[in-house]
Amino acid sequence: MSNERFGSVWDAIEDTQAQAENMRLRSALMMALKDHITREKLSQSQAAKMFGVTQPRVSDLKRGKIELFGLDSLVNMAAAAGLHVEMSLAPTA
């Protein structure tokens, strides 16, 4: 068993740093959208209408099906919901 340490679960399971960063961003956006749905007490159909997607798409989001979402679509959904998305860059450790 390896004692290798990773900065995040994404660093451990993805093949490249770029893939890990992409998954980290997608995960953060998905969690923010799910939190928004909960905070606003939206049904899946209400959220779908707000995000400009179908209800099954919101179901996939809520079930954490990260492989079905790209960064562009998640940013578009957040913007449609009136959420401001920020990004910051820092050198890797």
Domains of the chain, earliest start first: 9-80 (1.10.260.40)
At 14 the pLDDT is: 57
At 2 the pLDDT is: 62
Instruction: Report the sign of the C-alpha dihedral through residues 39, 42, 48, 49, in that order.
Output: negative
* Contact assessment for residue 34 and residue 63, using Cβ atoms and an 8 Å cutoff: no
Instruction: Measure the CA–CA gap between 39 and 60, rounded to whole angstroms.
Output: 18
In tens digits, what is the pLDDT along the chain, a chain of 93 residues? 566 665 665 555 656 777 888 888 999 999 999 999 999 999 999 999 999 999 999 999 999 999 999 999 999 999 999 999 998 888 876
What is the dihedral angle through the alpha carbons of 59, 76, 70, 38, rounded to the nearest 10 degrees?
Answer: -30
At 92 the pLDDT is: 73
